[in-house]
Amino acid sequence: MKPTQRYSPVHLAGLLTLTFVLSLFFPACDEAPATPAQVPHPGYTASSPGPQCDHGSGQWDVAKQYYTQDKKNVVQDKYTTLSCQKDGLQIMRSGDYFEPSKVYFLGPNADKSTKFPNNYRLQVDARITSPQDYAWAGLIVHAQYPSYGYDVFAVSAIGEWSVERYGSAAENFEQGLAGGFLSQPLKAFTLTAQVEGALMRFSVNGRPVTTVTDPTFANNFAMGFWMYNGSDQQPISVHFSHFSYVPLPDKSSLAPLTAQITPPNIAQSIQHWQIPYEARAPGFDCDKGGAEWDPPRVLSAENNLSLRCQDNGQLFMDNNSSGFFDEEYFYGFDGNLPNDYSVSVQLDTSQLGGNGCAGLGAHVYRNGSTGYLFSICRASDATQPDNWKVVRYDAPTKNSQLATGTFPHSDVITMNILLKGNQETYSLNGKQVASTNDPNDPSGYVELFLNQGKGSSGSVIFSNFVFAPLL
């Protein structure tokens, strides 16, 4: 019999250590391998997306109710109709045109409580099949389904694009995050959204359009399609096809960036706004500095307005006016403007018709339906002082006059609006004429405008435009 082998405490300690180390690299045979981490929803594609049209495992739903326009009651949606086509989904709307139609993608499995990852890419082909110039097709991200609230990137047939947030309270429109125009109108296009937490990148036909940061909604419970009639009371229809959803790797390094950009803004635009932006002759094709203005195809909708670039500025001319505002919007770079800024412009009103008005708007959004308009109006008697006024618009027919007064007549006058937080300051020729404090300050763009009385004619020249962010 062999003698029993004995080990010293040092030898035993060494064996125990070796056994532990080996166990880290070679688990016991009866242990199940660790399950790799997976995103809640894997990638998914559907050539014909939507309820009943997608014959794969995709789960879909259509928004079935909405608040009335006064936001007092909830009604069932009886105006949205879905039709499966051999090459996609057709969405039609035949009433209550103030409300968009929405179709949600809930994921490639039936667990509706599972949320999407923070980072993903969403894409779909859209074709506007109704004749309206202001028919819109869009992509919904950050949807709080089944609750209210989402961000949407949409494009109209006339080539206007917009990024907007709709809130969790009655799904009210809350804020325009960015907006502008494509180089040409399109009725068929590919929409792409790349979401990286609060950071959202949007493209049309593979070309980047804008990047927006909005930390309002932290989670993604659904995503989808959006259709809206932005102008009239006619039925609208859009065809959607070739849907794809791709989860992306987590980029936690984005968190510090997205937390710092407030209010919602675009990171790339900040570098443009380090110095004031100036345009001797403002407006589309007159301004050579690279900023974006309304293109002629939009302004031609104002039947009697004509524009001309001149050495001394841009001429706005309205013959036999329809009585509506003639407006031209300044969108800055990539459709993003900071909330706090100073903007000024010089006006030559020597050819402005009697009782005609011209001026400058700030924080203006949705075709002038919200924002501040600062105007100077010529008296019918040229020997009398000019009148000025500041009006806040909350809807096309809902406005309130914040301030008014008179100013010694001058053919050439410089207007300035300074917005800082909730404070708005208005000046004429360097002299402050009004200051207001508005806790419900809207967001939006800058506009130049002319308003002649119905049936009358007149013109104004805008020059020496300066936009200076207050960073």
Alpha carbons within 13 A on the beta-carbon side of 370? 14
Mean pLDDT confidence for 347-359: 90
The last residue of one of the domains, among 243, 262, 281, is 262
32 inside domain: no
Reply yes or no on whether the pLDDT at 37 is more than 60: no
| Residue 273 pLDDT grade (very low, low, confident, very high; cuts 50, 70, 90) | low
Q: What is the per-residue pLDDT across 89-141, written as a single tens digit (0 to 9) for each?
A: 999 999 998 899 999 999 987 665 667 899 999 999 999 999 888 899 999 99
Least confident of 36-45, 180-189, 255-264: 255-264
Please give the pLDDT value at position 69.
81
31 inside domain: no
Reply yes or no on whether the pLDDT at 20 is more than 90: no
Return left, alpha or beta for 371; rule: phi > 0 is left, psi -120 to 50 is alpha, else beta: left
Is residue 278 a contact partner of residue 427, using CB atoms and an 8 Å limit? no
Is residue 321 a contact partner of residue 304, using CB atoms and an 8 Å limit? yes
Reply yes or no on whether the pLDDT at 279 is more than 80: yes
Host domain of residue 451: 271-469
Q: What is the mean pLDDT of the chain?
A: 84
Least confident of 11-25, 370-384, 413-427: 11-25
- Higher per-residue confidence, 253 vs 323: 323
Pairing of strands 59-62, 101-107: antiparallel
Reply yes or no on whether the pLDDT at 88 is more than 70: yes
Q: Which of 203-217, 265-279, 366-380, 443-457 has the highest mean pLDDT?
A: 203-217
Mean pLDDT confidence for 215-227: 92
| Residue 42 pLDDT grade (very low, low, confident, very high; cuts 50, 70, 90) | confident
Mean pLDDT confidence for 356-378: 86
Mean pLDDT confidence for 304-309: 85
22 inside domain: no
Mean pLDDT confidence for 60-89: 92
| Residue 185 pLDDT grade (very low, low, confident, very high; cuts 50, 70, 90) | very high
Residues 232 and 308 in one domain: no
Q: Residue 389 phi/psi, 5° resolution?
A: -155, 155
Reply yes or no on whether the pLDDT at 226 is more than 60: yes
What is d(CA 375, CA 356) in angstroms, rounded to the nearest whole number? 10
| Residue 8 pLDDT grade (very low, low, confident, very high; cuts 50, 70, 90) | very low
Residues 214 and 231 in one domain: yes
Q: Is the pTM of the predicted complex or chain greater than 0.85?
A: no
Residues 283 and 413 in one domain: yes
What is d(CA 457, CA 64) in angstroms, rounded to the nearest whole number? 49
The CATH number for 318's domain is 2.60.120.560
**Among 136, 129, 125, 127, CA closest to 205:** 125
Percent of the chain with pLDDT over 70: 81
- Higher per-residue confidence, 401 vs 442: 401
Reply yes or no on whether the pLDDT at 38 is more than 70: no
28 exposed, middle or buried (CB, 10 Å; 0-12, 13-18, 19+)? Answer: exposed
The last residue of one of the domains, among 245, 262, 279, is 262
Is residue 229 a contact partner of residue 179, using CB atoms and an 8 Å limit? no
Mean pLDDT confidence for 226-249: 92
243 inside domain: yes
Tokens of 113: 């409580």
421 inside domain: yes
Beta bridge partners of 204: 191, 207
**Among 214, 210, 207, CA closest to 190:** 207
Residues 84 and 209 in one domain: yes
24 inside domain: no
Residues 290 and 247 in one domain: no
The last residue of one of the domains, among 262, 280, 311, is 262
Residues 100 and 238 in one domain: yes
Please give the pLDDT value at position 27.
44
- Higher per-residue confidence, 276 vs 382: 276
Reply yes or no on whether the pLDDT at 274 is more than 70: no
Instruction: Tokens 């929409």: give the residue.
Output: 191
Residues 95 and 239 in one domain: yes
Mean pLDDT confidence for 215-234: 88
Reply yes or no on whether the pLDDT at 25 is more than 60: no
| Residue 265 pLDDT grade (very low, low, confident, very high; cuts 50, 70, 90) | very low
Residues 68 and 207 in one domain: yes
341 inside domain: yes
Please give the pLDDT value at position 237.
97
DSSP code of 286? T
Please give the pLDDT value at position 455.
77
Reply yes or no on whether the pLDDT at 304 is more than 90: no
**Among 187, 77, 74, CA closest to 129:** 187
Mean pLDDT confidence for 220-239: 90
DSSP code of 211? E
| Residue 259 pLDDT grade (very low, low, confident, very high; cuts 50, 70, 90) | very low
Beta bridge partners of 462: 314, 347
Reply yes or no on whether the pLDDT at 87 is more than 50: yes
Residues 107 and 225 in one domain: yes
27 inside domain: no
Q: Which of 15-19, 37-41, 437-441 has the highest mean pLDDT?
A: 437-441
Please give the pLDDT value at position 441.
66
Least confident of 16-20, 241-245, 306-310: 16-20
Residues 218 and 86 in one domain: yes
User: What is the helix (H) or strand (E) element at residue 268, kind and residue range?
Assistant: helix 267-272
Please give the pLDDT value at position 168.
86
Please give the pLDDT value at position 155.
97
DSSP code of 118? S
Q: What share of the chain is helix, strand, coil (3-state, %, to 5)?
A: 5, 50, 45
What is d(CA 217, CA 224) in angstroms, rounded to the nearest whole number? 16
Reply yes or no on whether the pLDDT at 267 is more than 60: no
Reply yes or no on whether the pLDDT at 10 is more than 70: no
Number of domains, the chain: 2
Residues 233 and 312 in one domain: no
Residues 113 and 215 in one domain: yes
**Among 363, 370, 378, 389, CA closest to 443:** 363
